[in-house]
Amino acid sequence: MRPSTKLTPNDNPSKYVQEGYCIFRQQFTNKEMELYQQTLDNMLDCLRPGEKPQFMFEPHVGSQHWRTWLSLARHPKILDAVESVLGSNLVLILSHFIIKGTEDSMHVGWHQDQRYWLHGVEGDNLCTAWLAFNETNRQNGCMRILPGTNQPKLLDVNVKEDDGSTITTLEVDVDKELADTAVDIELHPGEFSLHDAYVIHGSDSNRSQDFRKIYTMRYADADTTRFTSEKWQIPFFLVRGEAMDTDFYIDLRPNKDLPEDQPDCMLVQKLRAGTYGKIPVDY
């Protein structure tokens, strides 16, 4: 059997367009990560029987710790990196703790993120920051990216049955030859990667004895993206630069304070009414 060769991930932002992703090493210090790690661990401690850690969607709006997560999602270290690939006018569209526990063997099938947000966001210039809260590696199911698959084109999807634990139901076909080009996004806590909305990626299940803990924050270029709010459950936040219609967004540019109150939106209303399906009650 041929020994598998490990590909070195791209850490050069100028190659982001070509590769569809880039990693940013040594960003947040251990001290800076402490508050975030403790807050997340408290959220995990509050999970009720039957609740799953992979369904902590939009914590920057819906969680009782929304201020902490909104502050992180507009942190200059993240936004500087995002600006280096999307330009200077930035909108925060979504965030999600993709925590892999030890029970479900949940893997994330090959997919393009773009498929998941067409009901509210349309454009070719969007990306995700994927921030490690603990070590991520093959053993605990780190993200795997197929470099160079970020053609601005939506691929056909196979719709997978929702088995109650999956977070991806819209998967794309990837043959073995292409799958063999996958790069492992192995990071230390406080490091992050950025990936393009079209690049194909996924991950294997967590085979370690501990949680795999990462936070995704998703951004759009304000100039080239069309936003529609009717079916979008949370506000769009303008976090840097300029936009045509600033009243459309919650303005969180660097000189603005966080909102006083938890933003009033569909997600928060549903959470308060106890009708938001899979999201943990006390997250």
Ligand X SMILES: O=C(O)CCC(=O)C(=O)O
Tokens coding 55:
């369904």
CA 86 vs. chain centroid, Å, equals: 16
Of 72, 120, 122, nearest to 96 by C-alpha is: 72
Task: Give every CB contact of residue 109 below 8 A, 6+ residues apart in sequence.
Answer: 160, 166, 168, 171, 202
Smallest gap from Cβ 214 to ligand X, in A, equals 5
Which residue, 173 or 264, has its beta carbon nearer to ligand X?
A: 173
Give contact residues for ligand X (rule: CB under 6 A).
98, 108, 113, 128, 130, 143, 201, 203, 214, 216
Which residue, 110 or 268, has its beta carbon nearer to ligand X?
A: 110
Which residue, 37 or 64, has its beta carbon nearer to ligand X?
A: 37
What are 209's strand-pairing partners? Answer: none
Which residue, 100 or 241, has its beta carbon nearer to ligand X?
A: 100
Residue identified by tokens 């979504």 is 94
Smallest gap from Cβ 191 to ligand X, in A, equals 14
Separation between Cα atoms, residue 283 and residue 280, nearest integer Å: 6
Of 165, 158, 159, 153, nearest to 54 by C-alpha is: 165
Which residue, 195 or 243, has its beta carbon nearer to ligand X?
A: 195
What are 192's strand-pairing partners? Answer: 24, 131
Tokens coding 217:
């924050």
For 110, what's the count of Cα atoms within 13 Å in the CB-facing half-sphere?
A: 22
Smallest gap from Cβ 255 to ligand X, in A, equals 30
Smallest gap from Cβ 80 to ligand X, in A, equals 20
**Dihedral angle computed from the Cα positions of residues 243, 247, 252 and 258, in that order, rounded to the nearest 10 degrees:** 180
Smallest gap from Cβ 106 to ligand X, in A, equals 9
Smallest gap from Cβ 167 to ligand X, in A, equals 8
What are 130's strand-pairing partners? Answer: 193, 216
The secondary structure element, H or E, covering residue 239 is strand 237-240
Which residue, 21 or 268, has its beta carbon nearer to ligand X?
A: 21
| C-beta nearest to ligand X: residue | 203
Which residue, 81 or 214, has its beta carbon nearer to ligand X?
A: 214
Smallest gap from Cβ 267 to ligand X, in A, equals 19
